């Protein structure tokens, strides 16, 4: 019996529902590598990472964790962990290099092979269509601020549904459109690196439209049993005090951070306060008739990515700010308590708060934690072991918060730990490690961290042990 072959025991105190989905998650550009192989063309992240000063140490995703060539090895790791599901993303420029027209067979074959090997291992494939790697040719044509990009995305969704519809049962249209819109087009810290409040709001709207168009395409191409989803990095926003100006600061961030996506997708409308807040930037005339109806295509579940809470007070933010319409009214404060290597506060209560808010705001919508995890300064010791007790503590606390939310009536169906592998961490390059599997990027050797063994035991017992 290997160290990961844990057996259920009688110490479980937080038992999850019988059919709870236990998974792990990755993103194509962060792990695949093979950036110029088999017809793949540059994405906006290839271009951004090659721009001097944009990514720490000049790192790129050219090789990353070399998952493209090591997919069988990585699935074997997942099998040892005992995960029931694996959430991966498809590299849009690997399968449709220009963002238009026919697909590349070798690109599709890679994802067919990935799905087939997952199924053979007893692991359910969960596909995300967009995790930030827009084909550069579409960015050159205007990118997400341009309406046409939403229609190109829907076409791409149809290509993937035809190719993998018989293998993949759960489809997520977009991952964290807030980051892609506001960090990519608002303050420029993510690809494509633009700094325009108007462009970020246009991009956010076109992400909503793209999601709705793609959801309808998927519905028309997939079996009735297939699940269609959307993943948002919703902000657990807290006002610093109960003073009216601080409460208004929290309202502003909730509008441009959360309800800018929740209201169009689930209610078919834009928040009225968001329109007022952003009036100095735009009159929203780029929203065409029928767009909001299209954006509100029904979905089967909502994915939630959570890492830490957001604490705000009245004031102003540095420019350029990703918070369009709020930058002159809101300042951000550090939450108390321990912090991760990303300098993010550790606060599992924020996850519980978020799930209860969604329980109340979106009754009847199943929820899935599609990302949750932490980066720490872990390393392989002289014996080759990777001890990461801080990550174990973080994960335990957040899973306990999920369990508490379920007991409080939140319909949470699964948990996907971020991330399976240490990988290319966007603008931080390879300086931050989120994986429960350590990757030596020089040799590509994989090593289970203590957190991987811990997570395997949680999955095996179906919950958290006492103590």
Residue that wins the pLDDT comparison between 349 and 11: 349
Q: What is the pLDDT of residue 1?
A: 35
Q: What is the pLDDT of residues 317-338, one digit of tens each?
A: 988 999 999 999 999 999 889 9
Q: What is the pLDDT of residues 9-41, one digit of tens each?
A: 447 789 999 999 999 999 999 999 999 999 999
Which residues face 432 on adjacent strands? none
Q: What is the pLDDT of residue 12?
A: 77
Catalytic residue among 32, 117, 139, 371: 371
Q: What is the pLDDT of residues 203-241, one digit of tens each?
A: 999 999 999 999 999 999 999 999 999 999 999 999 999
Q: What is the pLDDT of residues 286-328, one digit of tens each?
A: 999 999 999 999 999 999 999 999 999 999 998 899 999 999 9
Q: What is the pLDDT of residue 319?
A: 87
Catalytic residue among 32, 117, 139, 176: 176
Active-site residue 176, yes or no?
yes
Instruction: Kindly tell me if the per-residue pLDDT of 6 is higher than 90.
Output: no
């Amino acid at each position: 019996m290997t160290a990961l072959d844990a057996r259920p025991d009688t110490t479980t105190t937080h038992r999850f529902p019988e059919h709870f989905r236990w998974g792990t998650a990755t993103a194509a550009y962060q792990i695949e590598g093979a950036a110029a192989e088999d017809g793949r063309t540059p994405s906006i992240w290839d271009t951004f990472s090659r721009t001097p000063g944009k990514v720490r140490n000049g790192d790129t995703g050219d090789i990353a964790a070399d998952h493209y060539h090591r997919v069988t090895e990585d699935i074997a790791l997942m099998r040892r962990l005992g995960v029931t599901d694996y959430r991966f993303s498809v590299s849009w420029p690997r399968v449709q290099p220009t963002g238009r027209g026919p697909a590349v067979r070798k690109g599709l074959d890679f994802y067919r092979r990935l799905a087939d090997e997952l199924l053979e291992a007893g692991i359910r494939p969960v596909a995300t269509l967009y995790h930030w790697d827009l084909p550069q040719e579409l960015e050159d044509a205007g990118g997400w601020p341009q309406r046409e990009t939403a229609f190109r995305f829907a076409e791409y969704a149809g290509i993937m549904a035809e190719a993998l519809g018989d293998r993949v049962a759960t489809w997520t249209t977009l991952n964290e459109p807030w980051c892609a819109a506001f960090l990519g087009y608002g303050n420029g810290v993510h690809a494509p690196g633009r700094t325009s409040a108007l462009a970020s709001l246009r991009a956010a709207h076109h992400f909503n439209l793209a999601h709705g168009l793609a959801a309808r395409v998927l519905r028309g191409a997939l079996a009735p049993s297939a699940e269609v989803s959307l993943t948002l990095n919703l902000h657990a926003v807290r006002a610093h005090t109960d003073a009216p100006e601080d409460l208004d600061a929290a309202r502003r961030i909730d509008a441009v951070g959360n309800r800018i996506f929740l209201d169009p997708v689930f209610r078919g409308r834009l928040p009225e306060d968001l329109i007022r807040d952003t009036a100095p930037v735009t009159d929203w005339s780029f929203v065409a008739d029928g767009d909001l109806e299209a954006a509100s295509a029904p979905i089967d579940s909502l994915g939630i990515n959570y890492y830490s809470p957001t604490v705000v007070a009245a004031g102003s933010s540095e420019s350029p700010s990703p918070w369009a319409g709020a930058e002159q009214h809101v300042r951000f404060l550090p939450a108390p308590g321990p912090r991760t290597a990303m300098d993010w506060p550790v606060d599992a209560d924020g996850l519980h708060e978020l799930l209860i808010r969604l329980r109340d705001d979106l009754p009847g919508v199943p929820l899935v934690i599609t990302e949750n995890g932490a980066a720490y300064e872990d390393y392989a010791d002289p014996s080759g072991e990777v001890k990461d007790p801080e990550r174990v503590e973080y994960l335990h606390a957040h899973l306990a918060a999920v369990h508490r939310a379920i007991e409080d009536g939140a319909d949470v169906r699964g948990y996907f730990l971020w991330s399976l592998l240490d990988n290319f961490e966007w603008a931080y390059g390879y300086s931050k490690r989120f994986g429960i599997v350590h990757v030596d990027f020089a040799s590509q050797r994989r090593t289970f961290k203590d957190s991987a063994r811990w997570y395997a035991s949680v999955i095996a017992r179906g919950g958290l042990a006492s103590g």
